[in-house]
Structure 1
Amino acid sequence: MSQLHIVVIGGGAAGFFGAITAAETFPNARVTILEKNRSVLSKVRISGGGRCNVTHACFDNKLFVKHYPRGDRWLRPLLNTFDAAATVRWFESKGVLLKTEADGRMFPTTDSSETIIDCLLDAADDLRIRIETSCGVSRLLPPTTGEHRWSIELLSGESLWADRILLATGGYPQANSYGWMPEQAEPLVLPVPSLFTFNTPGNPLLPLAGVSVQYARVQIVDTKQEQTGPLLITHWGFSGPAVLRLSAWGARELADRNYSFTLRINWLPDQNEQQLRNGFNQFRQQHPKKQVTSQNPFGLPNRLWLAFTELAGMDPNVRWAELPGKVQNKLIEQLTNSRFPVSGKSTFKDEFVTCGGVALGSLNPQTLESKAHKGLFFAGEVLDVDGITGGFNFQNAWTTGHIAGKHIGL
């Protein structure tokens, strides 16, 4: 009997983890990774600002899956096999220690994604996994009757054979980009972007690009979609974890609206209107002779506070004792109910993922093998699973890559 040949299509996190697990589990098999680009693990390299957010320090799987807008119920039993704790142990076994930041994100202690890349490349090298770059696939031909091997046609015009295939190509933004894959048991779930920032042309706060607040509430007007967290003003609109999470949970609804909607921001979500009024009155009593523009009573960045006073139509020289009631009301409205017309989105390059992809019902939920095609397995973002920022999408890659790799040689 000839040596089993396992071909992994896609040299990203899921592809490498699947290949490594397969080679460890089936040591007599030959494992090859095909990557269409010139280099592998490119998303690992840029993730987390070049530090690689490996996973998230949430070790209760019931809570962990709540960070996936899509695929949470499907992923839950898989995490019981390989979860965030298993990820930490795996990297530690390879000599890579992870640290936890205040928000739960986990990074290598070196603060360098190259540490994770080197770890995966070294593991692949130790297992004699062959890596072929600039090697795109144009078509997969399932085994014909009486045949057990797949034919993989390459963009170069060449072809090769495989006994098993792991498809870990990542997500594609357009449905037609999945066309080279064999048809599955269920239709493709229409792909749309997730984790993106909001463009707000004409936004009067755009000159404040770079200013951020640590806690704000953002909401899509006329929907139930809202999130809280850090918010960043950019040259084109708004970004930061709160906006990225909002874009993830609202990915389909925002796509249906063609990314045209109204964003509502409460810059002080911990305080209700009465508390704000009390704060204004207290400042009025304590600092009656000081200029309102020079005294920021709510801990906001000074440039942002100054912008709000201008938007409220305030005289820049007015003192707290002289603050008109109408201007104060406008200020409170700015602080709690700012509204910005959104027109379009921008990809957040470090974390961008696809909402949609290969339907989860198309796979055996225990092995990740295609129901329609024996010997074809899937892992990672190519599936209709996506998480918010914070290491959750990488955990999906490690988990599904591990499970597919454990079963692909059986």
Structure 2
Amino acid sequence: MKQIIIIGGGAAGFFCASNLDEKKYTITILEQNSDVLQKVKISGGGRCNVTHACFDPRELVQFYPRGNKELLSVFTKFQPGDTMEWFDQRNVKLKIENDNRTFPESNSSQTIINTFLNETQKKNVTVKTKCTVKEIEKQDEKYLVKTNSGDFEADYIVYTTGSSPKSLKMVENLGHKIVDLVPSLFTFNIKDDLLKDLPGTSFENAGISIPKLKTEESGPLLITHWGLSGPAVLKISAWEAISLAKLKYNFEIEVNFVSIDIDEAEEAFQSFRQNNPKKTIGQSKIFDITNRFWQKVLEISKVDLNKQVANISGKEMQKILENLCRKKFQVTGKSTFKDEFVTAGGVDLKEINFKNMSSKLLPNFYIAGEVLNIDAVTGGFNFQACWSEGWLIAQDLNSL
């Protein structure tokens, strides 16, 4: 029987193994850590954000800053609906939350991990943990995989190592071009009086732009101890990952906390003033923001909280609106978003055949998962790419 060696016991590697024909192949997974599927375990705060309920491949690829063109053909063959069906056939019930993120009904990533462990056990897949690959040698028709636990011979290699610099170096030594790694999905470190003492304050829909890069995003925003986070920040960090690395994470952003333009905000203010002239400005609910944040805006705009709305000068109103709709912040660094560290960069996509995820340079060598220069915004999209790519590889090997 021919030997398949899967290097990397993460999402892409296990999904590929779970779909391979065990009557055709002897399958071995090599994982350098003591546990497999570590990212699956911590994803979604330990609930595992399996996928995202977006069933149109053309729409789905819009969530991938890198890899969107290439993934279109991949998702036409296996997309979130197929992932959900795959788990359903194995009696894993999934649920779609309001924001379309999809989780196991059990709310535990262990359910997903157990499913993979059961599937691979049924297929007699050998899983070797604490097994670090040191080198891969091409030998005639086969590959020799040298590890700290001895050497393995492979007819086919499935390379799903994640994006560690060491694993990229190894595939680079085999001739592949590597796009430099930079972090994606991070939060912005900002020191500013407006954000001070307000961690946990959130905004349902805010606008954020980076004037220097002529780019903008909108979505929920969250004030943290370090600065700003939430989907709006994470999205812009993913799309601009490479540009922001070049700026060494020092740049200016402009935030619109109320997501309406300044003229519209002025109209809202004037109409509130006409209807409630005697109300104190500190107790006025003009915009959809928390009272604490509103009072902080007034404080940094140097407006007396006890002043009646009717007595707010034109200059004071402009200052308030500027701080709400066009507040400029200096970003002075980044923080990793939770433990779900995602990188942009990896194996150059031009060197991959996306019909079956095979290397265009190396025969019988497949590459999938985060080792590729593909990444997505948060919400189950990175896993979906892993499932789809792993499935394609298994289909291709099963058809040989």
TM-score class, shorter-chain normalisation, is over 0.9
Distance 2:81 2:23 in 1: 25
From 131, 150, 158, the equivalent of 2:127 is 131
Alignment of 1:83-102 (within 5 A): 83-102=79-98
From 160, 165, 172, the equivalent of 1:168 is 160
Code of the aligned partner of 1:368: M
Code of the aligned partner of 1:289: K
The corresponding residue for 1:274 is 263
From 21, 33, 52, the equivalent of 1:56 is 52
Asked if 1:7 is matched to 2:9, the reply is no
Contact 2:132–2:149 (CA<8 Å) still a contact in 1? no
Deviations 1:15-34 (A, max 9, x none): 10011112xx3423111111
Distance 2:373 2:344 in 1: 6
Per-residue deviation, 1:283: 2.1
Code of the aligned partner of 1:393: N
Asked if 1:348 is matched to 2:337, the reply is yes
Asked if 1:200 is matched to 2:196, the reply is no
Q: SS of 1:253's equivalent?
A: helix
Per-residue deviation, 1:335: 0.8
The corresponding residue for 2:312 is 323
From 384, 394, 397, the equivalent of 1:408 is 397
The corresponding residue for 1:159 is 151
From 107, 132, 143, the equivalent of 1:150 is 143
Distance 1:75 1:377 in 2: 15
Distance 1:331 1:346 in 2: 29
The corresponding residue for 1:40 is 36
Q: SS of 2:4's equivalent?
A: strand
Deviations 1:232-265 (A, max 9, x none): 1111111101100000100111011111100110
Q: SS of 1:181's equivalent?
A: helix
The corresponding residue for 1:255 is 245
Asked if 1:66 is matched to 2:56, the reply is no
Q: SS of 2:136's equivalent?
A: strand
The corresponding residue for 2:71 is 75
Distance 2:161 2:46 in 1: 21
Code of the aligned partner of 2:392: I
Contact 1:289–1:321 (CA<8 Å) still a contact in 2? yes
Q: SS of 1:244's equivalent?
A: helix
Deviations 1:343-369 (A, max 9, x none): 111111343311111111212221222
Provide the aligned C-alpha RMSD in A: 1.6
Code of the aligned partner of 1:171: S
Per-residue deviation, 1:201: 3.0
Q: Percent identity?
A: 41
Deviations 1:19-56 (A, max 9, x none): 1112xx34231111111111111111111111111111
Code of the aligned partner of 1:255: A
Q: Which moved more, 1:120-129 or 1:234-243?
A: 120-129
The corresponding residue for 1:16 is 14
Code of the aligned partner of 1:341: Q
Q: Which moved more, 1:177-186 or 1:380-389?
A: 177-186
Q: SS of 1:169's equivalent?
A: coil
Distance 1:263 1:27 in 2: 57
From 26, 48, 63, the equivalent of 1:30 is 26
Code of the aligned partner of 1:297: I
Q: SS of 2:392's equivalent?
A: helix
Asked if 1:299 is matched to 2:282, the reply is no
Per-residue deviation, 1:333: 0.2
Deviations 1:31-84 (A, max 9, x none): 111111111111111111111111111111111111111111111111111111
Contact 1:377–1:408 (CA<8 Å) still a contact in 2? no
Q: SS of 1:32's equivalent?
A: strand
Asked if 1:386 is matched to 2:346, the reply is no
Contact 1:219–1:225 (CA<8 Å) still a contact in 2? yes
Code of the aligned partner of 1:372: L
Could you say if the C-alpha distance between residues 157 and 48 of structure 1 is closer, same or farther in structure 2, counting changes exceeding 3 Å?
A: closer
Q: Which moved more, 1:384-393 or 1:277-286?
A: 277-286
Asked if 1:240 is matched to 2:230, the reply is yes
Per-residue deviation, 1:186: 5.0
Per-residue deviation, 1:296: 2.3
Distance 1:405 1:331 in 2: 59
Contact 2:199–2:225 (CA<8 Å) still a contact in 1? yes
Distance 2:174 2:309 in 1: 67
Q: TM-score, normalised by structure 1?
A: 0.93
Could you say if the C-alpha distance between residues 325 and 304 of structure 1 is closer, same or farther in structure 2, counting changes exceeding 3 Å?
A: same
From 335, 339, 357, the equivalent of 2:328 is 339
Contact 2:176–2:361 (CA<8 Å) still a contact in 1? no
Per-residue deviation, 1:185: 5.7
Segments of 5+ residues of structure 2 without an aligned counterpart are none
Q: SS of 1:222's equivalent?
A: helix
Aligned residues: 399
Contact 1:184–1:371 (CA<8 Å) still a contact in 2? no
From 224, 232, 235, the equivalent of 2:214 is 224
Q: TM-score, normalised by structure 2?
A: 0.96
Code of the aligned partner of 2:101: R
